[in-house]
C-alpha cells in the first residue's frame, strides 16, 4: 500500500485562538461560537485591503489607516464591508501604538456586517498572533495526518477479513463518521455501512455514483464527483478495473482528510471487486493458465511447478475464525492477496492457498489457518493433508495459526517399509472405516480431549466417545495406556 496522502491543512477554529491565554485576545463584536475558521493571519494597514485578501484571513490592523474624521462618516462601514466581501474570517485590532481603545464605530460596523472583531492587547504582537495561528494549524495537520494513517491501516486490515467488502465499508463509515455505499455496474446498492441518510440524500448519492460510472456517452468519465444535499457532503469514486463499480460516501461534516481516507478505501474495493490477476508472486495469469492446461493434459506436477515460481512451497488451509460466515470468492482472493499469492482455491468453507515457502505466513485477522511443512511438487498432496490437520488443530486449540511440525523423530530410526508394514497390521481392524481412523488420529493429537476433538471434527463429543470406544474394542487394546497411544500414533503417521 502507498503511504497516506497528506490531507490539506485544516483551518483553525477562532475559539481555539481565543483560548490561548498567552495571547490575551478578546472578542468584542460579531457572531460568537465555533463556526468561524481561520485559514491564515495577515497584517495590513491599507484603507481597502480587499485586493490583497484571499479569504479566510484573520486580518490584523493597528488602525494606522483610520483618518481622524472616520467616526462621523461611512468609513468603518465601507472598510468592514470590503473585508467581508473579500471573505475575511475575522478582524484583529491592536491597542497600540496608535489607539488606546477600539473605535466604537468599528465595533458597530462589525456587528452590522457579522464580522468577528478581536481586541489585541498591547503586550501581544501581530507576529505572535500569526505564529499562534500557524502552531495551531500544524497541530491540526499532524492530528489529521495521524487520523489518515490510522484509517489506512485499519482499512488494509479490514480488506483481509473473511467479509472484506463489508468490513472495508464499515471501517470507512466509522472513520469518516458517515455512510459508505458500494454500487454495482447497474447502479444497484450492493452493500453499505454507517448511519442511514434521508431519501433525498440517498437518491443524490446514487446519482453521483452514476456520474463516475462508465456509460455509453462519448468522452472521459470523471473519477470522482462531489455535491452537498440537505447539509450532507456527498462524494462518489469510480472503482478501477473497468467493471463499473462505484463507491459513495455521505458525511454530515467533511474533514480535510476524508478524501484521502475514501481514496484508500476506493483502491482496496477496486482490488476486491475487480478481476484478480496474478502478479510476480505465484506466477503471472498466463503462466497459471498454462500450468492448469498442462496438468489437465497429463503433465506431472514437477514439470508444471516452474511455471508458478521458485519452490519449495507451503499449503495454507484457512477458515473464518469462530462462527464467522462462510467465505466467498472475494474473501478467498483477499486472503490470498494478504498472504502474497494468487494461487487460491475455495472448497466449501475452507480456503486453500499455495505459496512459496520463503513467504512466511502471518496470522490473518478474522481467519484460523493451518500451514503445511515446505514441500516440492511431488509432496503437494501430502502438504495439503498436513495443512488440513494443522487447521483442525488450530480450530481445536483456538489458535489463529498452527504450523505442521517437522523434526527428526524416533520413527526415522525404523526403516520406512518395516514401519508401514507394522502400521498396516496394527491398524487393520479399523483401516476400512475412515471415520474411526480420522477420529483416533485427531483424539490422539489432542491428548485425548473429547471436546477439542469434537470441535476439530465438527461432531458431537458423544460421537467422539462412541468412536474411540469402538476403536478400543476393534483394536483389542487399552487406549488409556500411554505406550499403546504412542505406538498407535506412530502407526497413524505412516503414509
Q: What is the pLDDT of residues 320-349, one digit of tens each?
A: 887 777 777 777 777 877 787 778 888 878
pLDDT of residue 410: 57
Average of per-residue pLDDT values in the chain = 84
DSSP 408-432: --GGGGS-HHHHHHHHHHHHHHHHT
Q: What is the pLDDT of residues 358-410, one digit of tens each?
A: 878 888 888 899 999 998 888 888 899 899 988 988 888 888 899 987 655 55
Averaged over 221-235, what is the pLDDT?
87
Backbone angles phi, psi at 363, to 5 degrees: -55, 140
Collapsing DSSP states into helix, strand and coil, what is residue 173?
helix
At residue 264, does pLDDT exceed 50?
Answer: yes
Averaged over 230-237, what is the pLDDT?
91
pLDDT of residue 123: 93
Calculate the dihedral angle through the C-alpha atoms of 378, 382, 388, 389, rounding to the nearest 10 degrees: -150
DSSP 71-100: GGTTHHHHHHHHHHHTT--EEEEE-SSS-S
Domain 12-136 has CATH 3.40.50.1820: no
Q: What is the pLDDT of residues 125-154, one digit of tens each?
A: 999 999 999 999 888 888 888 888 888 888
Would you call 234 exposed, middle or buried from its count of C-beta atoms within 10 A (0-12, 13-18, 19+)? buried
Q: Give the pTM.
A: 0.50
pLDDT of residue 412: 53
Measured distance CA(160)–CA(284) in Å, rounded: 22
Cβ–Cβ under 8 Å, residues 302 and 376: yes
C-alpha cell belonging to residue 340 = 502474497
* Sequence ranges of the chain with CATH classification 3.40.1390.20: 12-136
Question: Topology of 159-273 in CATH?
Answer: Beta-Lactamase (3.30.450)
Q: What is the pLDDT of residues 303-328, one digit of tens each?
A: 777 777 667 889 999 998 877 777 77
* Sequence ranges of the chain with CATH classification 3.30.450.30: 159-273
Averaged over 63-84, what is the pLDDT?
90
Residue whose grid cell is 516440492: 376
Better pLDDT: 39 or 6: 39
pLDDT of residue 4: 39
Estimate to the nearest angstrom the gap between the alpha carbon of 474 and the chain centroid: 54
Measured distance CA(128)–CA(10) in Å, rounded: 20
Residue whose grid cell is 493571519: 41
Amino acid at each position: 500500500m502507498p503511504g497516506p496522502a497528506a490531507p490539506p491543512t485544516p483551518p483553525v477554529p477562532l475559539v481555539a485562538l481565543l483560548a490561548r491565554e498567552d495571547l490575551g485576545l478578546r472578542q468584542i463584536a460579531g457572531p460568537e461560537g465555533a463556526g468561524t475558521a481561520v485559514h491564515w493571519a495577515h497584517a495590513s494597514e491599507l484603507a481597502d485591503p480587499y485586493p490583497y485578501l484571499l479569504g479566510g484571513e484573520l486580518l490584523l490592523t493597528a488602525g494606522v489607516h483610520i483618518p481622524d474624521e472616520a467616526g462621523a462618516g461611512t468609513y468603518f462601514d465601507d472598510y468592514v464591508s470590503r473585508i467581508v466581501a473579500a471573505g475575511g474570517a475575522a478582524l484583529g485590532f491592536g491597542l497600540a501604538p496608535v489607539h488606546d481603545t477600539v473605535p466604537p464605530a468599528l465595533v458597530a460596523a462589525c456587528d452590522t456586517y457579522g464580522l468577528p472583531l478581536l481586541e489585541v492587547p498591547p503586550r501581544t504582537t501581530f507576529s505572535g498572533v500569526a505564529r499562534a495561528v500557524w502552531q495551531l494549524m500544524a497541530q491540526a495537520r499532524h492530528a489529521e495526518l495521524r487520523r489518515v494513517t490510522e484509517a489506512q491501516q485499519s482499512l488494509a486490515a479490514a480488506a483481509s477479513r473473511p467479509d472484506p467488502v463489508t468490513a472495508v465499508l464499515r471501517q470507512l463509515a466509522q472513520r469518516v463518521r458517515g455512510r459508505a455505499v458500494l454500487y454495482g455496474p447497474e447502479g444497484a446498492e450492493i452493500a453499505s455501512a454507517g448511519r442511514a441518510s434521508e431519501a433525498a440524500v440517498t437518491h443524490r448519492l446514487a446519482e453521483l455514483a452514476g456520474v463516475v460510472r462508465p456509460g455509453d456517452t462519448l468522452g472521459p468519465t470523471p473519477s470522482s464527483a462531489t455535491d452537498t444535499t440537505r447539509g450532507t457532503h456527498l462524494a462518489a469514486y469510480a472503482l478501477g478495473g473497468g467493471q463499473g463499480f462505484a463507491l459513495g460516501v455521505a458525511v454530515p461534516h467533511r474533514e480535510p482528510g476524508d478524501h484521502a481516507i475514501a481514496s484508500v478505501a476506493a483502491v482496496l474495493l477496486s482490488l476486491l471487486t475487480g478481476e484478480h490477476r496474478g502478479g510476480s508472486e505465484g506466477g503471472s495469469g498466463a503462466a497459471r493458465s498454462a500450468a492448469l492446461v498442462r496438468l489437465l493434459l497429463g503433465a506431472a506436477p514437477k514439470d508444471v511447478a516452474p511455471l508458478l515460481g521458485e519452490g519449495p512451497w507451503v499449503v495454507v488451509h484457512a477458515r473464518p475464525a469462530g462462527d464467522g460466515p462462510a467465505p466467498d470468492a472475494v474473501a478467498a482472493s483477499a486472503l490470498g492477496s494478504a498472504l502474497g499469492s494468487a494461487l487460491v482455491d475455495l472448497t466449501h468453507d475452507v480456503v486453500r492457498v499455495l505459496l512459496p515457502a520463503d513467504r512466511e505466513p502471518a496470522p490473518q485477522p478474522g481467519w484460523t489457518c493451518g500451514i503445511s511443512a515446505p514441500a516440492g511438487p511431488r509432496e503437494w498432496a501430502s502438504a495439503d493433508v498436513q495443512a488440513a490437520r494443522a487447521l483442525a488443530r488450530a480450530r481445536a486449540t483456538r489458535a489463529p495459526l498452527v504450523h505442521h511440525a517437522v523434526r527428526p523423530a524416533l520413527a526415522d530410526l525404523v526403516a520406512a517399509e518395516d514401519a508401514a508394514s507394522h502400521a498396516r497390521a496394527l491398524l487393520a481392524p479399523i483401516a476400512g472405516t475412515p471415520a474411526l481412523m480420522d477420529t483416533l488420529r485427531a483424539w490422539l493429537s489432542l491428548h485425548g480431549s473429547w471436546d477439542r476433538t469434537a470441535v476439530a471434527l465438527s461432531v458431537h463429543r458423544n460421537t467422539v466417545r462412541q468412536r474411540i470406544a469402538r476403536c478400543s474394542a476393534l483394536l483389542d487394546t487399552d487406549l488409556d495406556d500411554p505406550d499403546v497411544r504412542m505406538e498407535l500414533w506412530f502407526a497413524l503417521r505412516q503414509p
